[in-house]
Amino acid sequence: MPANIRRSNTSNTQFLNWGNPDPSAGAAGSKTNPLQFSPITTVGQQGASMNPYLLGVGAVGGLMNYFNQPQSVSFGGSMQNFQRSDYQPSPDLLRSIRGIGNRARTLSGYGDEFMDQYRSMLDPQSAYQQQLQGQLREQVGDATAQTVGNQNAMLAQRGIGGGGMSSLLSAAAGNRANEQIRQGALGIQQQSLAGAGQFGGMATSAGSAAGDLAARAAGLRGDIDSRILQNTQFNTQGQNQYQQYLDMARYNAQVQNQNVNQAWMNNNLNFLGGLAGLLV
């Protein structure tokens, strides 16, 4: 039994050198562990063991991600793809409009002619009036001359010379002729007024009908112009909407390309960061 351990009668072991490594110290010393152990040397971590297969797999994955750069999305839409609405009036409708216009011009011409005739009948100095007056004087003159001739022949048969009786009869025939001319002129005026009224009415009717046809043709052409305007506005609105669609599509493609490329760069940076952490 060592000298520094003493057995007592109570069979308890008493450490005499408690707290002091010197065996001759006896029971003196502090309450420390009296057992002496071999010195323990602590060695820090010199490095971590790494699985080379895992490192290789990670490197291959990183290279695949690097060379697998996403392709940019390209949007190929353009205004050349925009389909315009083309409005063409019906050929039958255009022919009808031209026909209506031709009839309107014809009636308008008739109305002008009727109005000219109306003015001629009312104007005493017109060619129409002068012709009627000339015919009247010619007819009355011929009748008067024949009457005077017949009277002179009758006087001659009765043995009456041409003297005063003949002159009186001639004067009377002249007076009757003048009266006939006056009456004839009055009749011409009345006839002219009646004819002028008829021609004036026809001129008014022709002008009114021509105006109605012209208004109808103008209305049809106005409908065509309205449809052309509506079609133009429709094309303009559609063109603006299509341009907005193209601008938005290009913007969305740019945003998508930026997001995809950013994600690809983040993956590359994460791979490099993880690889650096393994090598530290």
Domains in the chain: boundaries: 92-252
Give the mean pLDDT of 178-198: 84
**Residue 209 in this model has a pLDDT that exceeds 70:** yes
How far apart (Å, rounded) are the C-alpha atoms in residues 193 and 27?
172
Give pLDDT, residue 103: 94
**Residue 55 in this model has a pLDDT that exceeds 70:** no
**Residue 118 in this model has a pLDDT that exceeds 80:** yes
H helices of the chain, where? 52-67, 91-122, 127-157, 164-279
Q: Given pLDDT bands bounded at 50, 70 and 90, which one contains residue 133?
A: confident
* Percent of residues, the chain, with pLDDT higher than 70: 65
Bigger pLDDT: 248 or 38? 248
* Percent of residues, the chain, with pLDDT higher than 90: 24
In contact, 65 and 264? CB cutoff 8 Å = yes
Give the mean pLDDT of 28-40: 45
* Least confident residue range of 38-52, 239-253, 259-273: 38-52
How far apart (Å, rounded) are the C-alpha atoms in residues 171 and 151?
12
Q: Given pLDDT bands bounded at 50, 70 and 90, which one contains residue 167?
A: low
Give pLDDT, residue 217: 94
